């Protein structure tokens, strides 16, 4: 059975407060049947009913530490049963965020953490994270919402999974600043801090790599095009192998110091070239306020 004829099933899991509900809403927006907190013992039954039903819509199921009968071992057992099926294409998505961000979200919303009974909030978050360590070993993709707004998280879901059944892999290129931390949901990370820095040119400092003056300045570095050439060769070497392993999307993060000049220019250059070559690509500039991740 070809991958295109299989029913798409996404298991959305992760830490409480990291955006699982927002992710499920986004899946609904692109036509998935979304079910939250389904007991693990009912997962196979749900898939059976969906396959035998009239609807051919893909399915997204939210399962986390609040789910009835949840334990890492039961989760792994349920995944094992699903992976043995030949009528579905399974993808496990993990929603994550830093402890500090999770604390802020729970404090602002005044929600009680599922592990929060008689515990400090940070201890509750840490206990859940420890519980989910083994779950993360079985995921196919991760979205870190620490520095993403709800709208950006939704857009990431739409970009990755609208084309989930397409024959070509979806590649997201993300620019970022090392000063704000390496994105934890990147599959590959490249460093372009060796390029000359527009930050030290007064008239370029307030601009970004999306503007011609900055882009031209960065591209003029003698190391720019050789880096592009070698990166393109690496991508073209790896993508068929990732695709053969069943991976449907890849996130490649390119970083510089502040994340607004060199990395943005490089993302635009490489993503633009791959788009011209017919590949399905998305772009996300993490450090540019108001950027729509076009």
Instruction: Quick: pLDDT tens for 86-96.
Output: 889 899 999 99
Over residues 241-287, the pLDDT tens digits come to 887 776 777 899 999 999 999 999 999 999 999 888 878 888 999 99
Q: Are 54 and 3 in contact (CB under 8 A)?
A: no
189/133 same-domain check = no
Please indicate, yes or no, if residue 292 is contained in any of the structural domains: no
18/148 same-domain check = yes
61 has a pLDDT exceeding 90: yes
| pLDDT-derived band at 292, boundaries 50, 70, 90 | very low
Q: Last residue of some domain: 161, 178, 201?
A: 161
Please indicate, yes or no, if residue 121 is contained in any of the structural domains: yes
* Residue that is written with structure tokens 């070239």 in the block: 273
Q: Identify any residues that bridge with 95 across adjacent strands, giving them in sequence order.
A: 14, 143
Q: Last residue of some domain: 135, 161, 187?
A: 161
Please indicate, yes or no, if residue 97 is contained in any of the structural domains: yes
Please indicate, yes or no, if residue 294 is contained in any of the structural domains: no
124/216 same-domain check = no
154/61 same-domain check = yes
CA distance 254 to 186: 9
**Shortest CA distance to 24 belongs to which of 154, 127, 135, 146?**
154
Please indicate, yes or no, if residue 291 is contained in any of the structural domains: no
231/109 same-domain check = no
101/198 same-domain check = no
Q: Last residue of some domain: 115, 132, 161?
A: 161
Please indicate, yes or no, if residue 290 is contained in any of the structural domains: no
How far is C-alpha 207 from the chain's CA centre? Answer: 27
32/133 same-domain check = yes
56/197 same-domain check = no
- Predicted confidence at residue 1, as pLDDT, reads 45
CATH number at residue 119: 3.40.50.300
56/151 same-domain check = yes
- Predicted confidence at residue 248, as pLDDT, reads 72
Q: Are 270 and 205 in contact (CB under 8 A)?
A: no
Q: Are 46 and 8 in contact (CB under 8 A)?
A: no
| Number of domains into which the chain is organized | 2
- Predicted confidence at residue 291, as pLDDT, reads 46
The 8-class DSSP code of residue 113 comes to P
Helix (H, G, I), strand (E, B) or coil at 24: helix
238/142 same-domain check = no
119/215 same-domain check = no
Entry field: residues in the chain: 294
- Predicted confidence at residue 3, as pLDDT, reads 47
**Shortest CA distance to 23 belongs to which of 138, 155, 118?**
155
CA distance 102 to 121: 9
- The token pair at 35 is 């079910």
65/156 same-domain check = yes
Please indicate, yes or no, if residue 293 is contained in any of the structural domains: no
- Predicted confidence at residue 277, as pLDDT, reads 81
Please indicate, yes or no, if residue 248 is contained in any of the structural domains: yes
Q: What is the CA radius of gyration of the chain?
A: 21
| Full domain range(s) for residue 263 | 170-285
2 has a pLDDT exceeding 70: no
């Amino acid at each position: 059975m070809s991958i295109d004829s299989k029913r798409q099933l996404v298991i959305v899991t992760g830490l409480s407060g990291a955006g699982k509900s927002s992710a499920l809403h986004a899946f609904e927006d692109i036509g998935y049947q979304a079910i939250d907190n389904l007991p693990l013992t009912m997962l196979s039954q749900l898939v059976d009913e969906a396959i035998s039903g009239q609807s051919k819509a893909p399915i997204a199921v939210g399962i986390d530490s609040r789910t009835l009968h949840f334990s890492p071992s039961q989760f792994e057992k349920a995944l094992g049963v699903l992976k043995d099926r030949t009528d579905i294409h399974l993808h496990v998505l993990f929603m994550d965020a830093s402890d500090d961000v999770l604390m802020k979200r729970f404090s602002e919303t005044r929600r009680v953490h599922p592990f929060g009974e008689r515990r400090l909030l940070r201890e509750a978050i840490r206990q859940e994270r420890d519980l989910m360590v083994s779950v993360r070993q079985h995921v196919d993709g991760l979205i870190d919402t620490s520095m993403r707004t709800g709208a950006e998280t939704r857009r990431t879901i739409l970009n990755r999974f609208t084309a989930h059944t397409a024959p070509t892999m979806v590649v997201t290129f993300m620019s970022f600043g090392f000063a704000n931390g390496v994105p934890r949901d990147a599959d590959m990370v490249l460093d372009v801090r060796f390029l000359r820095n527009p930050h030290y040119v007064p008239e370029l400092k307030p601009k970004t790599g999306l503007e011609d003056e900055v882009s031209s300045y960065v591209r003029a570095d003698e190391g720019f095009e050789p880096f592009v050439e070698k990166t393109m060769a690496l991508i073209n070497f790896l993508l068929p192998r990732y695709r053969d392993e069943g991976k449907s999307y890849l996130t490649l993060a390119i970083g510089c110091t502040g994340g607004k000049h060199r990395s943005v220019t490089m993302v635009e250059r490489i993503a633009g070239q791959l788009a011209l070559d017919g590949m399905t690509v998305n772009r996300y500039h993490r450090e540019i306020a108001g950027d729509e991740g076009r």
